[in-house]
Amino acid sequence: MQKKQSHYANRYIIYDSAVVGEINEHIFNPESHQEKGSLMGQALGRGTTYFIDVNGTQCVLRHYCRGGMVAKLLRDQYIWAGIQSTRAWREWDLLEHMLKMGLPAPAPVAAQVVRKGFYYCADLITRRIEDTQVLSAILQLSSIPEEIWQKIGATIKRFHSAGIYHADLNAQNILINSDNQVFLIDFDKGCLRNPHTSWQHQNLKRLLRSLKKSQQIFTAFHFSEQDWQALMDGYQNS
């Protein structure tokens, strides 16, 4: 990675020049990508996630959006408390840390923060982890073998042992590729924590709640108590 930073007017940008080359704010604009044919697709969630091509590298562009009731008032605005405290800067730093540790997570490509008085808006671009499917989508179609559940548990344990707290650990943020490798994505509000304290148990409970909630939402969702036990076996034995 060749990390560089740019700051002009009210705009702050951090980026990997090895991927991006020369930086400008248009890289964070989906319309600009559409005009030049580098917009490859999109997915809907709390906000729209865009799949873009950055100089031949497949990437993911995400604009930070709020959830819950506050989103009706401040959909994409956050209180300014300095650049290092912004969501984009903190997620970039965490992703860079995980990249150096060799953890299976997206590599950061570029982040932008635009200050607007007491508030700011932000965007993040990461490398796309290709040839993967979202766990929740897989489970809507079929069950998965015990050994994959064990790999999910072992992968989560790698992050926990490294002190990585995932603030939204759920079935939407776990990817599996064709070689059955497991990845975690979306580390917004994630942070480093002491791995020798007890927060890991609550993190796992959050994942379990998301799996059980999906059982209630979807007509077909292939998840059982035996699956969870296999995940925990992988977690505890790794």
Residue 67 has pLDDT above 90, yes or no: no
What digits encode the pLDDT tens for the residues 137-195? 999 999 999 999 999 999 999 999 999 999 999 999 999 999 999 999 999 999 999 99
Q: What's the pTM value of the predicted model, to 2 decimals?
A: 0.93
86: pLDDT strictly greater than 70:
yes
d(CA 101, CA 98): 5
Residues 80 and 152 in one domain: no
**Domain harbouring 222, CATH code:** 1.10.510.10
Predicted confidence (pLDDT) at residue 9 exceeds the cutoff of 70 = yes
Range of the domain at 38: 3-127
Query: 127, 160, 191: which is the final residue of a domain?
Result: 127
Residues 15 and 52 both lie in one domain: yes
Q: Output the six-digit token pair for 53.
A: 């091509």
Do 64 and 160 belong to one domain? Answer: no
Q: Kindly report, residue by residue over 111-135, the tens digit of the pLDDT.
A: 999 999 999 999 999 999 999 999 9
Residue where one domain finishes, among candidates 108, 127, 146: 127
End-of-domain residue from the set 68, 102, 127: 127
One domain for residues 46 and 66: yes
Active-site residue 179, yes or no? Answer: no
| 86 & 189 share domain | no
One of 168, 179, 186, 233 is an active-site residue; which one?
168
The pLDDT assigned to 193 comes to 97
Q: How far apart are CA 5 and CA 112, in angstroms?
A: 10
30-60 pLDDT, tens digit per residue, is: 999 999 999 999 987 767 899 999 999 999 9
- Answer for the pair 234, 151: CB distance below 8 angstroms, yes or no: yes
Q: What is the pLDDT of residue 148?
A: 98
Looking at this protein, which amino acid is placed at residue 166? H
Within this chain, do residues 88 and 8 fall inside the same structural domain, yes or no?
yes
Q: How many domains are contained in the chain?
A: 2
| 230 compared with 198, residue with greater pLDDT | 230
Provide the mean pLDDT of the chain: 94
> Residue 211 above 90 pLDDT?
yes
DSSP calls for 67-95: -SGGGGT-SS-EE-S-GGGSHHHHHHHHH
pLDDT of residue 44: 77
**Predicted local confidence at residue 69, as pLDDT:** 61
Two tokens at 96? 């860079």
pLDDT band of residue 224 (cuts 50, 70, 90) is very high
